[in-house]
Amino acid sequence: QEADKVNSLRRRYFRGDTTYLFGPGFSTQLGETSSFGVSLLGSIRSNTQIDHQFMQYNPIGTGKFFTQETQIEHTNYGFNPKIGFQFMPIPQLALGTTLSRSFNLSGKGTSRIIRTKVETNGLPVTPTGAFNHDFELIEKSITVTPASPWILGMGAAYYPSKTFLVALDSNLSSSEQQDGSTLTAFTSNFALGTEWFVFDWLLYRD
């Protein structure tokens, strides 16, 4: 084992992202086969990220070590307007489309880093048991602005019977602008699924 070389690295990463939506919605029929709806939802988005790293140097058991824990928390407040249209050319088939976009109003966040101090040669300091000697703490306020692309959703559902349906869902996101950079590519997602009511109280979904 070569002295003062990293022997092992352990890393643990956690991310939690929760969004709460609330607000009014309205829908109405447009004739016998179509309907239209709108909603205006307020949003609260809370994001937490914790990244912990531990490096152990040679010789194992008596060598130096470096540890760093980064914790980032931020909360954003905004609103999400959405409009939708549904058309049923036949009773067994429903076609729908939606258009929405999220708007950020305000936000706040903090960044907190605790890490082992290093010497001028880049190696961790020799621990003494005193926090101010062994570790450094870096805290600051941060501003995070979530991306707010336009999202076009399209879907179809086919009901061959009262107990079975096949559904197709897709959405297309426009280019995003975040932190001054622009992504010109579009992002699309597709999903196909089925539902079967084996009994009134038992649903199989795939």
**C-alpha closest to that of 7 among 69, 65, 52, 67:** 65
Find the angle CA(157)-CA(100)-CA(105) to the nearest 5 degrees.
Answer: 150
Contact 94, 157 (CB under 8 A): yes
Q: What does the pLDDT read at residue 98?
A: 96
Helix %, strand %, coil % of the chain (to 5):
0, 75, 25
Question: Sorting pLDDT into bands at 50, 70 and 90, what band is 187?
Answer: confident
Tell me the average pLDDT across 162-189. 74
| DSSP symbol at 2 | -
Work out the percent of the chain whose per-residue pLDDT is above 70. 94
Phi-psi region of 31 (alpha: psi -120 to 50; beta: other; left: phi over 0): left
Q: What does the pLDDT read at residue 36?
A: 95
Tell me the average pLDDT across 61-72. 90
Rounded distance between C-alpha atoms, residue 21 and residue 55, angstroms: 41
Query: Higher confidence at residue 4 or residue 30?
Result: 30
Residue 184 has pLDDT above 70, yes or no: no
* 3-state DSSP assignment of residue 131: helix
- Backbone φ and ψ of 134, nearest 5°: -85, -35
Tell me the average pLDDT across 63-86. 94
The answer to whether the bond into 146 is cis (omega within 30° of 0) is: no
Residue 179 has pLDDT above 80, yes or no: no
Residue 2 has pLDDT above 80, yes or no: no
Rounded distance between C-alpha atoms, residue 146 and residue 176, angstroms: 10
Written as one letter, the residue type at 43 is S
Give tens-digit pLDDT for 76-106: 999 999 999 999 999 899 999 999 999 999 9
In what helix (H) or strand (E) does residue 133 lie, and over which residues does it extend? helix 131-134
Give tens-digit pLDDT for 116-173: 999 988 889 988 889 999 999 999 999 888 878 889 999 999 999 888 999 999 998 8
Q: What does the pLDDT read at residue 182?
A: 52
Query: What value does the mean pLDDT of the chain take?
Result: 89
Q: What does the pLDDT read at residue 204?
A: 87
Name residue, tokens 């979904």.
205
Query: Higher confidence at residue 140 or residue 202?
Result: 140
Work out the percent of the chain whose per-residue pLDDT is above 90. 66
Rounded distance between C-alpha atoms, residue 125 and residue 145, angstroms: 37
Tokens of 176: 């995003």
**C-alpha closest to that of 204 among 194, 157, 191, 168:** 194
Question: Sorting pLDDT into bands at 50, 70 and 90, what band is 189?
Answer: confident
